[in-house]
Amino acid sequence: MSVFESKVTVNKTAAQVYAFLADMNNHRQLMPDNIEDWESTADVASFNIRNITQLTLKIDERVADSLVRIIPAEKPPFDMELKWELTATNGATQAAFSITADLNMMMKMIASGPLQKLVDEETTNLAALLS
């Protein structure tokens, strides 16, 4: 398994950050520019990654103020899990975003850069939106 991680501190309470992340409708604001045809509900999001693939993701687990776990709702090109873990720290929140993906050697060479860029961009966008 390959793990791609990024952490950021957000100047909001864990409850505020969790409330934002627990609704898939809000995740469009975190995504990079190459995301198209976004459709979502509170629990599921479907979108195209331009020139790569279509994905449908769903929230699989919510733990109030600490965890949002997202998994594919349909068979993806490779098995993956997306996870937001929140830790309260002195009136702020540390948000750790990770993507765990089951990549073969060829897919790892192709997808590692874009997946790391995705986790970095999502945490950066979260901090910018909620600060």
Q: What is the pLDDT of residues 70-103, one digit of tens each?
A: 999 998 888 999 999 999 999 899 999 999 999 9
Q: Which domain holds residue 36?
A: 2-130
Tally the domains of the chain: 1
Predicted pLDDT at 88: 96
**Which stretches within 26-104 are classed as H helix?**
none
Predicted pLDDT at 34: 86
- What per-residue string of b and e applies to 83-99 under the rule 16 or more CB within 10 Å gives b? bbbbeeeeebbebebeb
d(CA 127, CA 104): 32
Give the chain's mean pLDDT: 94
Predicted pLDDT at 104: 93
Task: Give the chain's residues under pLDDT 50.
Answer: none
CA dihedral sign, ordered 55, 102, 110, 129: positive
45: number of Cβ within 10 Å: 23
Predicted pLDDT at 46: 96
CATH number at residue 108: 3.30.530.20
